[in-house]
Structure 1
Amino acid sequence: MKLSVNLLALFGFTLSAFSFSASSSDNFNWRGFIAQGVIQAQNSNYIDDEGDVTLKLTEIGLNGSYTLDSNFRVAGQVVYLNGGNRYPEGFRVDYLFLDWRAISTLDWQVNVHLGRVKNYHWLYSSTRDVPHTRPTIILPQSIYFDAFRDVALGVDGVALVANTSNTLGDWEFNWSYGSSPISQEQTKNLIAEIATGDIEQKFVHQGNFVWHNQAVKFSVGLLDSKFKYNSGENDAFFDGDAQIQRFMLQGTYETQNWQLAMELFRERSIYSNLVYLGFNNDSHGEGGYIQGRYNVSKDISLTARLDIFDLDRKDRSGEARSALSGGIVPAYFGYQDQFTLGTSWTFSENWQVQAEFHRVKGTGRLAPVFMPNTIQNDHKYWNIWGVQLAHWF
């Protein structure tokens, strides 16, 4: 167990140092957060290759906005993350954009964002970057694939957010277009450790309609994205292309103490060349989750979730994929089903602790994708548990 008294003492001192109020003025506002946890993903390389207990559950961030005038403001966030193998460790700018209030009337509110804009199309896509706003430490991997976190969080481009209301309820339309940079470390996470080239996202185009009233929220959305792989020196892979097309349904139902949430998707993935010249793969994956949350009190909540993912809807067992590899890749790499139990406790102002347990069947959402790590991931069934303390200011 890789824990030490010195590390924990340092963590406590760091949290104390950050326990102060955020600054604000008429034009400038900023907020921050710091979160540290302990986590273990046994019999997998999800967190680290050894599957040991680790402190690789660190999130530190600062965000702010500056109001230029009644119609323009600038908003941004910088974070430091250490999540082990889930995503590259280090600093990154999650978003930095100009927000233009294009229309503001009694009937319509329309904002246009330019720059590194956020993804507002999924239930938790715009809040997954702030630890105390997530329902659990680890989000459902069928939708919120950790290896794709930085790419899915937002794009360098333009976004439009429009809101209106009528007698039927409140309506919202979100649209965005742009691309995200992908580092070589992310490329290795997505393709294979031995890949020496790089992935370029040509574009991602998303849109969704949302309807909601006081208790019910429903959304339907579409995504279309293209990628290009540029092979490197002595690369095992070839220049290739990929296209991802996704259809999504989302819904929530809320009462005073209960919330039910679900997101479902069908995704078409088209790969050309990449593995070898002339290679072509066109498949449809499916997945989604259903989640229930119960507020025991205003400070304590319980969460239960079932999350299901199939890499190919025509090969839900993964047997065909395994046969294609000559049995080298086990069939359980074709899917990943996950049951989660979690709790959160806001025990003091701006302080929260979350704890959760995940029972997982399959490894279809573990990185890398094209050349799976069959050595560390040699179990069909495996577990994750984690505890994280968060403070925001």
Structure 2
Amino acid sequence: MGCLALPSQANEWQWHGFLAQGVIQADKSNFINRSGEPSLALTELGLNGALQLQPNLRVAGQVVYLDGGNRYPDGLKLDYLFVDWALVNQLDWRLNVYAGRFKNQHWIYSSTRDVPLTRPSIVLPQSVYFDTFRDIAVSSDGLALKASVDTTAGHLELNWSLGATPLSDKQTRLLLGEQVQGKSRQKYVHQASLFWQPEFSNWTLGISLLDSEFSYRSAAEAPFLDADFVVQRVMFNAQYLQERWQLVAEVFQERMDTSGFFAPDFEVQQFGQGGYVQGLYQVSPGFRLNATLDYFVANKDDRRGKNLEQSSQGSIPAYFGYQHSFSLAASKDLAPRVRVQLEHHWMEGTGRLAPGVLPDLVTNQDRYWQLWALQLMYWF
């Protein structure tokens, strides 16, 4: 089972599901919990389906229950529910229109991160796939287009989308800080991406653009003020596929502009950078290995966080300005629909730990920390 299969006949219904449970530990950090002890907060249950209404029209959706500790809000979620209209379906080019809560298809793993067996690892590279933004990045409410064209120069895929994602109070506290009492919302997220696979080539190259704005409205007598946040990102990606191995990389630069929150005239703009390189190798049918090098800095002009520590008069350690990691993972198919996955991450820095605006200085007191996870999954 991968993403939703497209039924071939009108009124045909297809559905799939998955169950995954594991144990995870992230010592010396609040990535999973504040104790640093092993946790069972690695639960993923999901059911997805697609109904073909007409030869060129279908409805698709997915409901999940997640428990990931401090990584993202837990509970029951509607990941996506959209209408897919195949406006053009010719031999050399196709155009689809999606309306509703559509899936993000702009990054390499953005459309597959919601299903455990379609991810290359339990915890994806946090530079790009920041778990705190999981619900915001998986889908949006709005409109999307996808065009695929086959030319003599190769295969081209163009994606465009405009929408927004509702934010819960729990999501607000994960993003901003436990002390906040107000409400936040995503005003909009506007994305576009282009992927190109040259003819007879093992390479696929891509570029993705993102423009988004968030607002925070403070509660009465709350310690923090109204604020607006602008996030803009440009990302390049590359994939090289062979029969038994593949190489994947995504790199980005991101602008974040903060207005308000700490003071009425507070205004800060900074450019973060990051990316990862990942190698995947299939040792034998059903047995895969994965190695990933991940890199993130919150401010490209302060790569080691020294200015962050100085500007906060020493209250925020320098290692909150970045987060780098190296990880090894292995997965083994125990049966046709049963898989076990094991991985270990060696981390330096805490720049990708929630919350981002008011960091947890009490729990995250170590520059170096480690993460390991073991998960058993079944799908049908």
TM range (shorter): over 0.9
Q: Structure 1 stretches of 5 or more lacking a match? A: 1-21
Question: What's the counterpart of residue 20 of structure 2?
Answer: 35
Matched, 1:221 2:227: no
The answer (yes or no) to whether the contact 1:219–1:250 under 8 Å persists in 2 is yes
Give, in whole Å, the separation in 1 of the partners of 2:251 and 2:351: 17
Which of 148, 154, 157 is equivalent to 2:142? Answer: 157
CA displacement at 1:198 relative to structure 2: 1.4
1:171 paired to 2:156:
yes
Query: 2-side partners of 1:233 and 1:60: how far apart?
Result: 38
- Aligned residues: percent identity? 48
Match of 1:72 among 44, 49, 57: 57
Correspondence 1:301-380 to 2 at 5 A: 301-380=288-367
Letter in 1 for 2:350: T
Amino acid at match of 1:224: D
**Residue aligned with 2:256, SS:** strand
Using the TM superposition, name which of 332-341 and 105-114 deviates more: 105-114
> Structure 2: how far apart are the matches of 1:287 and 1:343?
24
Q: What is the SS of the residue equivalent to 1:223?
A: strand
Give me the TM-score of the superposition, normalised by structure 2: 0.96
Give the TM-score of the pair, scaled to structure 1. Answer: 0.93
- Structure 2 residue 222 is matched with structure 1 residue 235: yes
2:50 matched to 1:57? no
Distance 1:234 1:297 in 2: 61
SS in 2 for 1:148: helix
Does the alignment pair 1:248 with 2:227?
no
Q: How far, CA to CA, are the matches of 1:246 and 1:50 in structure 2?
A: 34
- After TM superposition, the structure 1 stretch with the greater mean CA deviation from structure 2, 126-135 or 205-214, is 205-214
Whether the aligned pair in 2 keeps the contact of 1:243 and 1:270 (CA below 8 Å) is yes
Aligned pairs, number? 371
Matching residue of 2:250: 263
Query: Is 1:276 the equivalent of 2:294?
Result: no
> Which residue is 1:300 aligned to?
287
d(CA) in 1 for partners of 2:243 and 2:111?
23
Q: Is residue 196 of structure 1 aligned with residue 155 of structure 2?
A: no
Question: In the alignment, does 2:178 pair up with 1:187?
Answer: no
Q: CA deviation at 1:275?
A: 1.4
Contact preservation (8 Å) 1:196, 1:234: no
1:107 corresponds to: 92
Task: Quote the offset at 1:230 in angstroms.
Answer: 0.6
C-alpha deviation, 1:233, in angstroms:
2.6
Which of 130, 137, 142 is residue 145 of structure 1 equivalent to?
Answer: 130
How large is the Cα RMSD of the aligned pairs?
Answer: 1.2
Q: 1:182 & 1:218 partners in 2: Cα distance? A: 32
CA distance, structure 2, for counterparts of residue 146 and residue 352 of structure 1: 22
1:98 is displaced (CA, Å) by 0.4
Matches of 1:351 and 1:235 in 2, distance apart? Answer: 49
Inter-partner Cα distance in structure 2 for 1:28 and 1:64: 7
CA shift, 1:234, in A, is: 2.6
2-side partners of 1:87 and 1:246: how far apart? 21
- Any gaps of 5 or more consecutive residues in structure 2? none
Show the counterpart of 2:107: 122
**SS at 1:320 equivalent:** helix
Say if 1:356 and 1:386, in contact at 8 Å, map to a contact too: yes
1:290 paired residue number = 277
TM-fit CA distance, 1:111: 0.3
Residue 73 (structure 2) pairs with residue 92 (structure 1): no
Deviation at 1:325, TM superposition (A): 1.1
Task: Give the whole-Å Cα distance in 2 for the aligned partners of 1:277 and 1:161.
Answer: 41
Q: Distance in 2 between matches of 1:339 and 1:383?
A: 10
> SS in structure 2 opposite 1:390?
strand
CA contact (8 A) 1:57 1:388 kept: yes
1:19 aligns with: none
Runs of 4+ in 1 over 2 A off after TM superposition: none
Cα shift readout 1:207-249 (whole Å, capped 9, x = no counterpart): 0110114511110111000111111133221111111110000
Give the Å deviation of 1:167. Answer: 1.4
- Tell me the distance in 2 between the aligned counterparts of 1:264 and 1:298: 30
Shift of 1:258: 1.2
Q: Aligned with 1:296: secondary structure?
A: strand
SS at match of 1:149: helix
Structure-1 separation of matches of 2:219 and 2:57: 43
Structure 1 residue 274: deviation in Å?
1.3
